[in-house]
Copies of this chain bind each other. A is one copy, B any other.
Amino acid sequence: MTYAELSSFIKKQQSFLCVGLDTDINKIPNHLKQEENPCLVFNKAIIDATAPYCVAFKPNTAFYEAMGVKGWQNLFDTITYIKTNYPHHLVIADAKRGDIGNTSGMYADAFFNQMNADAVTVAPYMGSDSVKPFLSVKNKWTIVLGLTSNEGAADFQMKGNPELYKQVIKEVSQWGSKENTMFVIGATKADMLKEIRTIIPEHFLLVPGVGAQGGSLQEVAAHGMNEHGGLLVNASRSIIYAGSGSDYALYAASEAMNIQQEMSTLLGLLK
């Protein structure tokens, strides 16, 4: 998916919502536990329910790895289900990988070729040769951690002069282009988006932290949106666990629709 395609899909869907598939087998509705594969049944229902209101899905690998080998299969099957049924939606493997060059190449192969994800999140600590193997895969997106939504962002990212996250954004944005690179910027740091936009006015930003983590969608849009949309705002727990009964998918759809409607209003301000 190109930059232009993503931008027009956002305008078509009137949404820049990314649904985080952080499926915790202990948190899904009880009645699903009698299914042969509760995780996959849950994911498919959530995907079907929320696809009309979002432009991207983001399974976080941690939740699948915690299920053992079966979890890795579930991750594959979930991505295959999305790519088969909703080929226009962006699939982000939220993996936060990064290693020395030849090893990062193996990760790029795993997520882009084997698993057919459109995008993968990457940690920048190990520098250029750890990021470039992802960037070198054509028609795929590398989403590099910039300023994350958690408390620990203060420990290293927000220290230095200029702050480490600014160094990372400035440097990494030169390794690729807005056509293959995005940055993770936490919604809980929305006031910093304005300055970030002076460094990278055009890049797409993946913004977690709206919903359960408390970030504000209005603030994120006010400071982070650009004329192409420029944002993918993720919500995970607040959508996928909105309901806990047999009608859980309806609750997820309703929660996603509420966010989409707010996003539609915000996108209207672009015109």
Q: Which residues in A have some Cβ–Cβ distance to B below 8 Å?
A: 22, 24, 60, 62-63, 65-69, 71-73, 76, 94, 96-101, 103-104, 106-107, 109-111, 114-115, 123-131, 145, 148-157, 159-160, 164, 167-168, 171, 213
Contact = CB atoms under 8 A, between A and B. Distances in A.
A24 B149 CA distance: 35
Nearest to A107: B62
A150 B123 contact: no
A60 B47 CA distance: 32
Contacts of A62: 97, 99, 103-104, 106-107, 110
A127 B151 contact: yes
A206 to B, nearest CB: 14
Given A62-B106, A106-B66, A114-B68, A127 B99 contact: no
This chain: copies in complex: 2
6 contacts: A60-B103, A62-B104, A100-B150, A124-B125, A126-B148, A126-B157
A63 B106 contact: yes
Given A68-B114, A76-B69, A156 B168 contact: yes
A88 B125 CA distance: 32
Contacts of A22: 103
A106 B65 contact: yes
B154 A103 contact: no
A83 to B, nearest CB: 15
A112 to B, nearest CB: 11
Contact of A96 (B101, B106, B123, B129): B123
A71 B106 CA distance: 12
A72 B75 CA distance: 12
A45 to B, nearest CB: 21
A62 B97 CA distance: 9
